[in-house]
Structure 1
Amino acid sequence: MPSITFISHDGVEKEVHVAPGTSVMQAAIDNAVSGILADCGGACSCATCHCYVDEAWKEKVPAAEDIEAQMLDFVMDPEENSRLSCQIVVSEELDGLIVRLPASQI
């Protein structure tokens, strides 16, 4: 099962194992990772699951589609590697993925 490491804004790491096909957002919710609010439940309509994909993984994660790119305009503290975790689907190729969480989602 692929693993994802979530790193909070203050450096606390939490590694979780997830079934392929699960979104990074759902993995965070299922494993009580704080920092992902996911108010819309993964519908890509609220941007409260904002995360930063670690630089080492940026090229391995599929690119954001247009709707996600538009929603990223509403996140606090956007960066070049900002993504909505609801739109990243875990696969075996993403085993070891590292995502960093912002200080605030709202």
Structure 2
Amino acid sequence: MSDVKITIIDRNGTEHTVDAPTDMSMNIMELVRAYELAEEGTIGICGGMAMCASCQCYVLNEDEITLPEKNPDEEAMLWEAFNVQENSRLGCQIHITNEIDGLKVQLAPES
């Protein structure tokens, strides 16, 4: 059992560095919900199935952290989403593991 540190910038621009457990099969979307860093009902609307992009975030230190490649479902959802940038990912598709210790993300705007 171990925790990693993840920094999340919420939609108001406030930075939060939180402990994220690696032993609970959580992802970034669930972490945001657990720490209540987004208004209720505005993130993870599809339940983490890569079908809504409400958990879209921007990976701010992608040169320092190696994330898994986007799967086809994530690619398709980002193709249809708003405010997509080169560093956009779906938080529900970034699983919390030791490899992402130090990850820094910013939540994308709601619309």
User: How many aligned positions are there?
Assistant: 105
Question: Does the aligned pair in 1 maintain the 2:30–2:92 contact within 8 Å?
Answer: yes
Q: Secondary structure at the match of 1:38?
A: coil
| Structure 2 unmatched ranges of 5 or more | none
Q: Report how far residue 43 of structure 1 moved.
A: 1.1
Which sits farther off after the overlay, 6-15 or 46-55?
6-15
Q: 1:11 aligns with which of 10, 13, 17?
A: 13
- Residue among 30, 36, 39 paired with 1:32: 36
> Within 1, Cα distance between the matches of 2:62 and 2:93?
19
TM-score, scaled to structure 2: 0.84
Gap runs ≥5 in structure 1:
none
Please state how far the C-alpha of 1:76 moved relative to its aligned partner: 1.3
CA distance in 1, matches of 2:20, 2:11: 22
Moved >2 Å (runs of 4+)? 8-11, 55-59
Instruction: State, as a whole percentage, how many aligned pairs show the same letter.
Output: 32
Answer yes or no: is the 8 Å Cα contact 1:72–1:78 preserved in 2. Answer: yes
Aligned mate of 1:23, from 1, 6, 27 = 27
Structure-2 separation of matches of 1:47 and 1:88: 13
